[in-house]
Structure formats: C-alpha cells, structure tokens
Amino acid sequence: MTSLALSILASSLIFIIFKLYTRFKVNTLFAIVTNYFVACGVGLTRYQGETNLSEIPQKPWFLGTFILGILFIAVFNLMAAASQKVGVSVTSVATKMSFVLPVIFGILVYGEELGPLKVAGIVLALAAVYFTSIKEPVRKFKKTALLLPALVFLGSGIIDTSLKYIQEVHIKEEDYPLFSATVFGSAACIGLLVTIYKMADLRSQFNLNTLLGGISLGVVNYFSIFFLLKALQNDTLNSASIFTINNVAIVMFTTILGIILFKEKISPKNWSGIALAITSIILVAFG
C-alpha cells in the first residue's frame, strides 16, 4: 500500500506542476521534453543491473515502450493544455476517470472477479469523478471545452491499460527502473524531433524556469510510473482495485490542492463528489 500511496502523491504533483507553468511563464513543450530526459536519467541511475544499451531492443517489452513513448508525450501535452485552460480539478478528473478502461480490460482478459461491494465502489467512483468535475454556473460551459478532457481520458486509459498488460506479461520486477527509463527515453527522442522542428521558438522561449520546470516534472513523473508498477504487484488487491483507488484518490487530492493552492472554486456538488470518492475507495479497498 505504500507504493500505491507514493504513486498517488507523485501523480497529483504532476497536475500542480502543470498549473504552475502558467504562473512562472514556463514553455510547456520544452519543459515536457526536458522532463522525459530527466525521467530517463533517473531510471537509468536507479537500475541495479548491468546496463547494456545494445541489449535493450532485444527485451520483450521494448516495442511497448516505443508505443508508450508516443502516447506519453501526446497525452502530457494534452494534460498541460487542459490544466491551464479548464483547471487542475477538471483535468485530473478526465485523466483519472479513465481507470474504467484498464478495469474492463482486467475483467475481460484476466478474468478478474469483482464482489458486490467492489462493483458498488467502482460505480460510486464514476459518480465521484462526474460530480467533482462539474463547474458552475453550468450555462457558461462550452461544449468545445469537452474536447481536451475527452482526449486526455482516452489517452490516459490506453496508457494505463498498456502498462498493466506489459507489467503482467513481459516485465520482471528488477527491470522496472530500466523499463521506465526506456519509456521516458522513447518519449524524449520523439519530443526532441518536435523541438528541432521548433528550434526558432526554443532559442527565444527556453529559460531557467523552463529548465527547472522540466527537471521537477521529470522526477515526479518517473516515480509516478515506478510506484504504480510496484503497486500492481499487490497480493491483496487486483488491478481493478488498484486503478480505482489510485485514480479516484488522485482526483480527490488534486481537487483539494487546487482549492488550497490556486483558489479554485468548489461547489456543493464538488464536495459531494469528494465524499463519494472517499466512499468508493473504502468499498473497493475493503470489499
């Protein structure tokens, strides 16, 4: 459970860092690319085995890391844009509501069983993320604003499902740091190509705040994935329970941090969503 708690903390900090990018005039794209180089470096330094770069492409999980690298940089840019345009709480809700995709995957592919209390907890979790995301007054809400959260939802769900599959089928525990580093390295290489394309913008917009923003994001980003992989090894909870607790707890935590740090407004419906989130976590964890 310690790994799960640390994954929740690290993932929540990602949204806060994205929100701070606007305040400190950080160039989001360049900070995200920097973040992946940093996350890759953290993973390589934490790997205890012998690192032979020529052997990495022979690993059974290598192709998966390349696909995840593309998804990571695409979804991270979407998350950053959504955090800045529609708020931290809405973005975290869109991201973490995607837990339904790996939950369905676990049931269909691995035959994971859910008791009545856990099913009730997952239903309450969906209600929780809905009520937490409602922004009032509703009449000012534009339908076009749904696009960014919808893309974040889909991309995040695919990432979580892919991580579960690769963790279940291909990765040994001792390879977690190397696997995580390779995922981030793939994303860094893709991001570097985009950066080269926008080199003129890089010269004019890259500054110390962008560098520091990328470094801080890279550290918490690495540990969010590393501790999630560790949490998925839990002998007591299946993956459906892990993803539900992880994602709903992040929604609750980031919403509270959004209120405290950024004075984001929260309605009675939002508070009811937080209450439902707590209830759902209890039902899933102890059901």
Q: Mind listing the pLDDT tens digit for each residue in 219-258?
A: 998 999 889 888 888 777 777 788 878 877 887 788 788 8
Residue 142 has a pLDDT of 58
At how many degrees (to 10) do helices 2-23 and 208-231 cross?
A: 160
Buried b (16+ CB within 10 A) or exposed e, 8-47: bbbbbbbbbbbbbbeeeebbbbbbbbbbbbbbbbbbbeeb
Mean pLDDT for 132-139 is: 57
- Residue position matching structure tokens 């907890």: 121
How far apart are alpha carbons 282 and 287 in whole angstroms? 8
Q: Mind listing the pLDDT tens digit for each residue in 161-210?
A: 888 888 777 788 788 888 888 888 888 888 888 777 766 666 666 688 98
How far apart are alpha carbons 95 and 250 in whole angstroms? 10
8 neighbors 251 (Cβ within 8 angstroms): no
- Tell me: pLDDT of 33 over 90: no
Mean pLDDT for 123-136 is: 73
How far apart are alpha carbons 261 and 20 in whole angstroms? 10
Residue 213 has a pLDDT of 93
- Lowest-confidence pick of 44-48, 135-139, 160-164: 135-139
- Tell me: pLDDT of 129 over 90: no
Band the pLDDT of 212: cuts 50, 70, 90: very high
Please count the CA atoms within 13 angstroms of the CA of 92 that sit on its side-chain side: 32
Residue 217 has a pLDDT of 93
Closest to 77 (Cα-Cα) out of 161, 208, 198: 198
- Tell me: pLDDT of 63 over 90: no
Residue 180 has a pLDDT of 86
